[in-house]
Amino acid sequence: MSERFVKAIKADEIAPGGMINVELEGREIVVCNIDGSFYAIERRCGHMNAPLEKGTLDGKVITCAMHSAQFDAVTGEALSGPVPKDFHGEIPPPRMGQFLMTVGSLMAHIKTNSIRTYATKVTSGIVWVDIQA
C-alpha cells in the first residue's frame, strides 16, 4: 500500500491542545495538535457517530461531547465507553448523577469501537495527511 499525503491545514491554524475538522477527498478527519505533534483520526466517534472535534482533547485523550466515550488520539484505541462510572472523586448533583447512571445503563450494550488513524507529516508549516485506504 502506497502513501498518498494531501494538504490538510497550516500548522499554525491549530494551537497545542486543539482539534480541527477537515474534509479531505470526501473523508471527514480531525487533526489534533498534541504538544506540537500532529495526529489525524476519523471524525466520527466509535460509539454513536458524534463529531469528535466538538469534544475535548486532554493530552492524547479525546472525550466525545455526546456521551463521554474516550479515545487515544495517537492510536485510535477506544479507551472507555460512554458515561464514565468513575467521576474521579467529584460528586455530581443528585439529579444529574441519577440521569447519568440511567443513560449509562441504557447505553451499556452499545459497543464502542476504536477509530481509524491517519499518518501525518509537517513540511514547510503545512500538515499533510495520508489518506490512502
Strand partners, 129: 6, 120
CATH tag for 5-83+112-130 (out of 3.40.50.2300, 2.102.10.10, 2.40.50.140, 3.40.50.720): 2.102.10.10
Q: Distance between CA 111 and CA 48 in Å, rounded?
A: 9
What pTM was estimated for this model as a whole? Answer: 0.80
pLDDT in 10s for each residue of the chain, 133 residues: 578 999 999 999 999 999 999 999 999 999 999 999 999 999 988 877 789 999 999 999 999 888 788 999 999 999 987 765 555 676 767 787 777 777 777 777 778 889 999 999 999 999 999 998 6
